[in-house]
Amino acid sequence: MAHLVIYLFINGVLIGYNLLWQPGFHWFYFPLLGWGLGLVMQYVLEIFYLQKDMERKEALAEKRAREQVFAQKEAEKKTEKESVESEKEETEK
Compute the residue count for the chain: 93
Nearest to 16 by CA among 4, 31, 29, 28: 28
DSSP code, position 32:
H
- pLDDT above 90 for 87: no
Extended beta strands in 1-93, E state: none
- pLDDT above 90 for 85: no
- What would the pLDDT profile of 15-72 be if each residue is shown by its tens digit? 999 999 999 999 999 999 999 999 999 999 888 888 888 888 898 999 999 999 998 9
Distance of CA 77 to the CA centre of its chain: 38
Report the alpha-carbon distance of residue 18 to residue 30 in Å, rounded: 12
